[in-house]
Amino acid sequence: MLNRAAKLVKEAEVFVITAGAGMGVDSGLPDFRGVEGFWNAYPAYRRIGVSFEECANPEQFARDPRFGWGFYGQRTNLYRETTPHAGFHVIRKWINESGGDYFIVTSNVDGHFQKAGFAEERVLEVHGSIHWLQCQTPCEERIWPNREIFDIDELSMLVKGELPRCRSCGRVSRPNILMFGDWKWLPDRTRRQEELFDLFMRRNSGRRIAVIELGAGTSIPTVRRLSERIGWGVENAHVIRINPREPEIMEPHVSIQAGALEGLERIDIELGSIRS
C-alpha cells in the first residue's frame, strides 16, 4: 500500500488534499468523534452535560452568547496558539516538487492550512472559518476578520469580559462557521472558495490527480464523500485515504491505516527510495 501511495504521489500532476478533524490531531488539536470523544477533549462540557451539537447550536448561541463564545473563544485561542505539524510541510514539498496545481478542501475551521503556508485562494473551508466573524441576526452580509481576544472561565466555560459585537447593529457577533441546524450562517466566503475549486477541477480535467485524504471521519462525512466523488467520478483520479481508525476504501484507491503525520512521513520515505 505504501509503495502504491508513493507511486501515485510521484506520478501526480495535480493534488487535491481533503482533510477532516483528524488532520489536526498530530498538531495537538482534539477531534470530536461522538459524544465521548467530545467530552474527553472537553471535560468541562461533560460536567455541564452538553454535547458538541449543543455547543455548536445557533439558537443556544443567541440565547446565551457567553456560553457560545466560551466554546468558540476557547477554540479561537487554541487554534491560534497551535503550530501545524510537520505533515503539512511534507505535502507542500510534494506539491512544490511536482510543480503541479493543487487545492485543499477541509471541514476544519482552524485555518491551519493557511497557517502552514498554503495559499488562501487554494483552500475551500466547507464549514467556514473561526478566523472570520459575522452578525448574529445577520443584519448584513458582511463578514470581518476575528481579531478578538477571549478570556474563558475554565469551570463554567463562559467567556468573561466584553463580548464581540457587530459594528453595524451592535448585537453580539458569532463565528462565520456553519453550526447545526444553522439558517443564519453567511455562506458567501465558502461559495467563492467553491467557485475557485470548480475552476481548478475544470482546468485540470484529464490530468493525473492524487486525492490525499487525511483524518476525515464518517460521522459528518462531507469530506469523505467528496474524496470518493472525485476518486470514482473523475478520470485519472486516485484517492489515498490516511486514517488510523476508519481507513477503508476500495481499490484501485489506497488505504493507509495511520495517523496523518505518520502516514505522510512513511509515504515520503517510500517516495525517497523509489526515486533513488
User: Are the CB atoms for 159 and 119 separated by under 8 Å?
Assistant: no
What amino acid occupies position 104? I
User: Are the CB atoms for 94 and 269 separated by under 8 Å?
Assistant: no
Residue from 25, 90, 95, 209 that binds ligand NAD (CB under 6 A)? Answer: 25
Nearer to Zn ion, 92 or 184 (CB): 184
Which of these segments, 137-145, 168-176, 188-196, 243-251, binds ligand NAD (CB under 6 A)? 243-251
Q: How far apart (Å, rounded) are the C-alpha atoms in residues 157 and 153?
A: 5
Which of these segments, 5-13, 58-66, 187-195, 209-217, binds ligand NAD (CB under 6 A)? 209-217
> Closest approach of Cβ 142 to Zn ion, in Å?
9
> Closest approach of Cβ 88 to ligand NAD, in Å?
12
Q: What is the largest CA-CA distance in the chain?
A: 62
Q: Which does 168 bind (CB under 5 to 8 A by kind): Zn ion, ligand NAD, none?
A: Zn ion
Q: How far apart (Å, rounded) are the C-alpha atoms in residues 51 and 45?
A: 7
Distances (CA, A) of 65 to 26, 70, 131, 191: 31, 8, 18, 27
Taking CB under 6 A as the rule, does residue 51 contact ligand NAD?
no
Number of residues that bind ligand NAD (CB under 6 A): 27
Residue from 55, 95, 124, 135 that binds Zn ion (CB under 5 A)? Answer: 135
Buried/exposed code over 102-131 (b: 16+ C-beta within 10 A; e: otherwise): bbbbbbbbbbbbbbbebeeebbbbbbbbbb
Q: Which of residues 18-47 bind Zn ion (CB under 5 A)?
A: none
**Nearest in space to 124 (alpha carbons), one of 113, 134, 132:** 113
Which of these segments, 43-51, 160-168, 187-195, 215-223, binds ligand NAD (CB under 6 A)? 215-223
Nearer to Zn ion, 139 or 199 (CB): 139
Q: Which three cell numbers stand for residue 182?
A: 444553522
Q: How far apart (Å, rounded) are the C-alpha atoms in residues 102 and 17?
A: 8
User: Are the CB atoms for 241 and 211 separated by under 8 Å?
Assistant: no
Q: Which does 125 bind (CB under 5 to 8 A by kind): ligand NAD, Zn ion, none?
A: none
Q: Which three cell numbers stand for residue 19?
A: 482533510
Q: Which of residues 58-117 bind ligand NAD (CB under 6 A)?
A: 107-110
Taking CB under 6 A as the rule, does residue 260 contact ligand NAD?
yes
Site mask for Zn ion (CB under 5 A), range 168-207, x = bound? xx--------------------------------------
φ, ψ of residue 34 in degrees (nearest 5): 75, 180
Taking CB under 6 A as the rule, does residue 31 contact ligand NAD?
yes
Taking CB under 5 A as the rule, does residue 139 contact Zn ion?
yes
- Site residues (vs ligand NAD, CB under 6 A): 20-22, 24-26, 29, 31-33, 107-110, 127, 214-217, 219-220, 243-246, 259-260
Q: Which residues bind Zn ion (CB under 5 A)?
A: 135, 139, 166, 168-169
